[in-house]
Structure formats: C-alpha cells, structure tokens
Amino acid sequence: MPLQTVEPQRLYRQIAEQLRSLITSGEFAAGQRLPAERDLARQFGVSRPSVREALIALEVEGWVEVRVGSGVYVLDRASRLAAAAPAVAATEWGPLELIRARRVIEGETAALAAKSAKRKHIKAMRDAIASMKGEAAQGILPLTGDRAFHTAIADACENIVLLETIQTFWDSRRGPLFERLGNHFESVPSWQLAIDEHESVLRAIEAHDTDAARTAMHQHMDKSHSRFSASWRRASAS
C-alpha cells in the first residue's frame, strides 16, 4: 500500500477526531452527555482549553450540542440539522490558542506604541474606544471598534508586518469556531469589561509607559481568555 503524506494537525482537531470516533462507534450514544471538560482533559492528557476548542469544533460540525447550564450532549447524526452542519476548515486556528498568541505579539506592539505613537495614532485609539462605547450602548457587540483599536496600536509601530499580523489575528475571530464560542460567552456586559481594559491600555500608551502598556495588554488578553474559558454554567448567567 502506498504511503500517504503525513500532515501535522492542530491539537483540538486530534481531540475532536478521537471524540468523533467514540461517538461513531457508539461509545457515546445520541442524547448522552459527554464527560466534563476537566475529565476529558485528564483522560486525553491535554489542557482544558484544548478540549473546549475540540468540543466547539464538534458543535459547529453538528456532532454535539452545548447546553449552557447543563453540559455537552451527543446529537443524532441522522437529524437534518446535524447532517447539514459544515465542516471546520483544517487551517482554522483554535480561538483560545489564538488569544494566547495575541497576548505575546500584542503585548509587544502595545509597548512599541507607547514609545512611538503620534497624535494621530492616539486619536485613532480614542475614536475606536468611542465607537465601542456607542455600539455597546445600543446593545451591539462592538467588534468594529475593537478591530480599529488593535489596528491603531499596530499602526503606531510603523511596521507593516506587525500591522498585517495583528489584522490577520483579529480577522481570524470571524471563523466559525470563534464565532460559535462567542455566541456562548460574549455579551454586551462582557464587552463593557473589555472596553475598560482597552482604556487601561490607552492610558499607558498616552503616558508613553512601555512597561505599563505591555502589562495592560497582557491583562486584557488574560481576562479575554478567562471569559472564553468560563464554565458553561457561568455562561448561562451572562
């Protein structure tokens, strides 16, 4: 038999494939609740965020249903809804892993912006936050302003590679995994917290305090990661 090309896979996809095989083999029957994330993480020998990304991928593909306040349940694949679900692209990044990568890169772009930002860049950041507040006040998730804020910080670094990298990172949240995760955890109240965190970053950049800017961005990303990692029970209360 000819050998097949071996391709590296994202960890969440490897976990999802194992769970999918267990469902297909009948180990987990339709209607059954899957073990808790912490138990799956222990059995797979991986982190809970990786398990969460796998479960979200399975939900997008119609294998399971996440019921906030209850757990994750296996769907009947014979149902029309499950059968029509799209496949997650092999190239899609896991949303929680993406946030961790953004923490590394955007902590440094915030520090660089604190050193080199001009008035036009500061104004762009202020305008972005004002846009976020306006959208949130209307009950709209302020994604447009959020992208503008992070773009303005990268633009202040005057490095096109950093700018395009930050834009690519942000635009990746438009993928089905991040959007589905956001459906469970993002709300106007949670975005109000994020706006406060953005303002902390802006204050540090305005003060030209590189260490404070880096720390404020790290804290923002850490808190974002925590919000998306909250228990399903907490999600039901948001």
* CATH code of the domain in which 49 resides: 1.10.10.10
Q: What tens digit of pLDDT does each residue of 50-109 get?
A: 999 999 999 999 999 998 878 899 998 776 555 566 778 888 899 999 999 999 999 999
Domain of residue 121, CATH code:
1.20.120.530
Same domain, 114 and 76: no
Spatial contact of 28 and 34, defined as CB atoms under 8 Å apart: yes
Q: What is the mean pLDDT of residues 181-190?
A: 90
Please tell me the predicted confidence (pLDDT) of residue 6. Answer: 39
Same domain, 103 and 208: yes
Please tell me the predicted confidence (pLDDT) of residue 237. Answer: 39
Residue 232's pLDDT band, with cuts at 50, 70 and 90, is low
Same domain, 69 and 101: no
Number of domains in the chain: 2
Which phi-psi region, left, alpha or beta, contains residue 141 (left: φ > 0; alpha: ψ -120 to 50)? Answer: beta
Same domain, 162 and 225: yes
CB burial of 18-28 (b: ≥16 within 10 Å; e: otherwise) equals ebbeebeeeeb
Please tell me the predicted confidence (pLDDT) of residue 81. Answer: 58
Fill in the amino acid letter for 61. E
Residue 37 belongs to domain spanning: 11-83
Q: Which helix (H) or strand (E) holds 211?
A: helix 210-228
Instruction: Assess if residue 5 is contained within a domain.
Output: no
Spatial contact of 106 and 214, defined as CB atoms under 8 Å apart: no
Please tell me the predicted confidence (pLDDT) of residue 5. Answer: 45
E-only strand ranges, the chain: 64-67, 71-74
Same domain, 191 and 109: yes
